Amino acid sequence: MIIRSKAPLRIGLAGGGTDVAPYSDIYGGAILNATVSMYAYATIKPLTDGKIIINSLDKNKRLEFDTTDYLKPDGCLDLMKGIYNRIIRQFTKKPLSFELTTWVDAPPGSGLGTSSTLVVAILGAFSDWLQLPLGEYDLAKLAYEIERIDLGMAGGKQDQYAATFGGVNFMEFYDDNKVIVNPLRVKEVILNELAFNLVLYYTQTSRLSSKIIETQSKNIVDKNSASVEATHKLKEQAVMMKEAVLKGELHKIGDILNFGWQNKKKMAYGITTPFIDELYDTAVKNGATGGKISGAGGGGFMIFYCPENTRFKVIEALNKYGGSSQRYEFVSRGLTTWRI
């Protein structure tokens, strides 16, 4: 028997950063995101030889252990170790023997929620194998706790819920880690046009998002007025984007993205760089009406709204910087598991 799973990566359209504590705990956050046809995959093959084997194919790393009830996080494939440790502690109460193989369609630090989506995919495979009593909210919350609490990795809350639920969602965040996922019923023609006009561009750079997020959180704790006000504006942006998408007012998307980008840059040092600013200016000069960095900032993917047929000119201009545009479609289904 083999258990497989896949969970979709996401594009954050608006409100990014308002899902990060302590802002979400103090003021409440709001985000609009949508899952795309890029995935994190996990395969579990149960073993009977008393071994634990972990294969990360995209990172070209392989670990092997004798079965145990605890795998010590040491900087190498810690996500997998943290998931295993929580599964044993909370559910099975005894060691397991298996081979876990993973792959992610985008590199780490790319801004599409790769780490959290991988956690969801792996949890989904374990849940299917062990028949764990986890609904969608339960699984997403558990993924968040493993990454943010058990492993102490800085970050927000949106990625785990996007990967689990799938689709276009308006998410609300409150204190005590309360999250409400509101699926949006967006007409297919609107999604098709949005995907056509929204260019996803990989800058060929990555970043350690935790450092940016830690600075962002510190600014909120220190009540840095510029940072707090900018984050308030991003929450407003999420509502603006929701209304534009639901009403099919796509001509407003570029301006809404630009509004968010101008404020996001004020949240913390490192969100933008001279290179990112040059890419943004180039896209606008060639027909884009707005855009943003995907994720925490500093590198990875960027998105640009390119109305009519300007996407082709924008892509041609951006490719001169050594990056590449990424083909994708919006997908409505979240975490999926199956058995062979």
* Domain assignment of residue 333, yes or no: no
Asked if 33 and 142 sit in the same domain, the reply is: yes
What is d(CA 160, CA 9) in angstroms, rounded to the nearest whole number? 10
For residue 267, what pLDDT is reported?
82
Q: How many CB atoms lie within 10 A of CB 275?
A: 12
What is d(CA 75, CA 146) in angstroms, rounded to the nearest whole number? 15
CA distances from 240 to 11, 156, 261, 305 (A): 17, 21, 14, 15
Asked whether the beta carbons of 10 and 200 are under 8 A apart, the reply is no
159 catalytically annotated: yes
Which domain-ending residue is among 158, 185, 212?
185
Asked if 7 and 150 sit in the same domain, the reply is: yes
pTM: 0.94
Asked whether the beta carbons of 177 and 147 are under 8 A apart, the reply is no
What is d(CA 33, CA 111) in angstroms, rounded to the nearest whole number? 12
Indicate the Cα dihedral angle 243, 166, 181, 176, nearest 10°: -130
Asked if 254 and 171 sit in the same domain, the reply is: no
The conformational region for residue 145 under phi > 0 = left, psi -120 to 50 = alpha, else beta, is alpha
Instruction: Supply 62's token pair.
Output: 């392989």
Question: Which of 49, 159, 175, 277 is labelled catalytic?
Answer: 159
262-273 per-position pLDDT tens digit: 998 888 777 888
Where in the sequence is the domain holding 212, given as residue range(s)?
188-325
229-260 per-position pLDDT tens digit: 999 999 999 999 999 999 999 999 999 999 99
For residue 205, what pLDDT is reported?
73
